[in-house]
Amino acid sequence: MKDQDISIEKSMEKSVDYKRCQNMDVAMKEVIQRIMSEHVGIVRTQKGLEEAYRDMQEVLESLTETSVGCQVYYELLNMCQVSMAIIEDAMRQESIGCHYKEKTYMEVLS
């Protein structure tokens, strides 16, 4: 009888985790996409990249705090890490290729 109770509890936990994963999926993907679209598009500014990096760090922290361990969780974690790598690289480089890093007035003067 105890084995059955344990099995039922595990099934219920998996169901709750699955629902948490599905709810997390839509909301977090939209947040990541919005951050990247607003600040890391074709025309970029240093200020926008820094803001995107801070926002993405918050997303990553919230993901790691609510570790669920399902496929959706790992996909979101991967999206976040790839986004951060893109942002970090863009912050270090001048404009190259098809992306343009806009200079602020102070950067032009220096």
pLDDT, residue 19, reads: 66
Q: Is the predicted pLDDT of residue 12 greater than 70, yes or no?
A: no
What is the 3-class SS of 24-43, one letter each residue?
HHHHHHHHHHHHHHHHCCCE
- pLDDT, tens digit, 9 for 90 and up, residues 27-48: 888 999 999 999 998 888 889 9
pLDDT in tens, 48-107: 999 999 999 999 998 888 777 778 888 889 999 999 999 998 888 766 666 656 665 555
Higher pLDDT, residue 9 or 79: 79
* Nearest Cα residue to 56 out of 22, 91, 21, 100: 91
Q: What are phi and psi of 100, to 5 degrees?
A: -120, 125
pLDDT at residue 8 is higher than 50:
no
User: How many domains would you assign to the chain?
Assistant: 1
CATH at 82: 1.20.58.100
pLDDT at 104: 59
97: left (phi over 0), alpha (psi -120 to 50) or beta: left
The residue among 109 and 1 whose pLDDT is bigger is 109
Task: Look up the domain containing 33 and give its range.
Answer: 2-109
14, pLDDT greater than 80: no
- The four Cα atoms 24, 29, 32, 37 give a dihedral, to 10 degrees, of -150
Helices and strands (H, E) in the chain, number of each type:
4, 2
